[in-house]
Amino acid sequence: MNTTAIKVVTISLILFFCVNNSMADDYNVRLSANQYALDSEFEAVINTSNSIVMTGISGVYDNDDYKILFLKALIGNEILIDGFTGGLGFKGAWGEAEKRNIDGDILNLGFTGYAGYDLSKTSLNNYPVILSSSLFFSPEPLSFGDTKKFIEILAECSWKVLDQAALILSYRYFEIDFTNRTKWEKSESAGYLGLKFFF
């Protein structure tokens, strides 16, 4: 894929994100951290007659090792049982990573899947807890710059302590293969603690 095609895909995702945000029914902001890194996300959710559309922008920052910005757009629906939601869509990653004296640029567009289980919509409605996870995978044909492949796994447990706020515990694993100068890999496995606000 040439540079023009990359620009077209990027602009299309940004426009899709902005248009959807102007029509959103719900917003949430997540702020979390551990002793090494910061993680944040702004998400807009649009409810349609048969499904939901989730768009968001997020970032994870570690001053010494990596800085990554993500953009996502998914279509989801409640499936199988009450409170269980699944979704599929696209996600992009842009940033940079470093390992020892080597650094590399990150530019990926890939596929993402989401699953969430809201206990408050089940027979356990006294427990305002949401369990969720997502997978992001960008294979070699959709990886640009110095990157060859990108995989990210997220898992989150949020407990709604107030109507507009939740305490969250999350886990992120990512692995990036690079091909600049020499073949090398950057991976991270870390937990985060933080808050999520709903609007």
Higher pLDDT residue, 83 or 93? 93
Does residue 127 surpass a pLDDT of 90?
A: no
Count how many domains the chain has.
1
Q: What residues have CB less than 8 Å from 67, skipping those under 6 apart?
A: 59, 60, 61, 95, 96, 97
Torsion angle, alpha carbons of 97, 156, 79, 47, to 10: -80
Share of the chain above pLDDT 90, in %: 54
* CATH code assigned at 192: 2.40.128.100
> What is the spatial distance between Cα 98 and Cα 88, in angstroms, rounded to a whole number?
30
Range of the domain at 70: 3-198
Question: What confidence tens digit (pLDDT) does each residue in 101-118 have?
Answer: 888 899 999 999 999 998
Of 99, 127, 57, nearest to 185 (Cα)?
Answer: 99
pTM of this structure: 0.83
pLDDT tens-digit readout, 157-181: 999 888 899 999 999 999 999 987 7
How many whole angstroms separate alpha carbon 41 and alpha carbon 71? 10
